[in-house]
Amino acid sequence: MPDRIELAVLDEAVSQRLDSYISAAVDGLTRSGVQILIDKGMVTVNGNTVSKSYKLRKNDKIVAEMPEPEISEALPEHIPLDIVYEDSDLLVVNKPKGMVVHPAHGNLNGTLVNALLYHCKGSLSGINGVIRPGIVHRIDKNTSGLLIVAKNDSAHVGLSVQIKAHSFTREYEAIATGVFKETAGTVDAPIGRHPNERKKMCVTMQNSKNAVTHYEVIKQYGGYAHVRLRLETGRTHQIRVHLAYIGNAILGDDVYGKPYKGLDGQCLHARKIGFIHPGTAEYMEFESSLPDYFEKILLKIGKM
């Protein structure tokens, strides 16, 4: 199946539902599968995202972006891990910048999941399937910092409930571009799939979810700022999208901002994580020191 499907609506399809029309026109796509694509914002009509019940009009231009096929399995690999904490229910890992969390096309090995499968000898929760065992939440490839992993399904459920209730503590630090007019504030803007670029997210009212990010400027550097951020929600690329939205894209973010010489991807670090342990019901909190790449950039911009 191609990565992108384009359809033009002719007379006989006028007034049909969008989901029914696509599933009938494209071999291998079920109506439920099409509905998932529409809900994810991967289907547009005349360049706009619409609902699955949208009634087609003559000459409508439909574009459907096809997701990459799932990988059948992930294999254990002996890759060193920086483990901050571990017990029989969970572990907290300090992920380095550049490491992908789970296998995907283009990154089939060398991921955090490959390393976890080796370290945990198969003792990981299975709720998220064979490609994402133990993964309760994710951080981007070029974001460094703390990530919690569930070793069993009970722990996974207990942690997921906290994330859904926004009771997880997730604090980040970033170097952002531009000058902040306010030294502290909140970005409350819904995030959904970009209507034209399926690998990007954006602030939008179409097929989106509420997203809230709190920020505090630690120090301004004349064109740059060292910022502390706290997630109230956890949408894909949330901090990166929100900072770009207010005009302060993260330094080095080549998707939502601009590349920065000598830096591979955005300067963003998951500094602190806190949660109620699903087994003991005790609150636990962990911090990670800023990595070398982050410290070096702070020194560099401090001399400008």
| Residues forming the active site | 140
206 CB burial (10 A radius; 0-12, 13-18, 19+): middle
Q: Pairing relation of β-strands 184-188 and 144-150?
A: unpaired
Alpha-carbon distance of 210 to 231, in angstroms, equals 12
Q: Which helix (H) or strand (E) holds 296?
A: helix 292-302
Cross-strand partners of 184 = 216
**Helices 18-25 and 31-39, packing angle to 10 deg:** 120
Q: Pairing relation of β-strands 268-276 and 144-150?
A: parallel
Would you say 41 and 85 are in contact if contact means Cβ atoms under 8 Å apart? no
Query: Whose CA is closest to 267, among 253, 285, 288?
Result: 253
Mark out the alpha helices in 86-219 (DSSP H runs).
112-120, 153-164
At 273 the three-state DSSP class reads strand
Alpha-carbon distance of 84 to 71, in angstroms, equals 29
Q: Which two tokens stand for residue 301?
A: 């911009």
Phi, psi of 147, rounded to the nearest 5 degrees:
-145, 135
Would you say 66 and 2 are in contact if contact means Cβ atoms under 8 Å apart? yes
Quick one: the chain helix, strand, coil %, rounded to 5?
Answer: 20, 30, 50
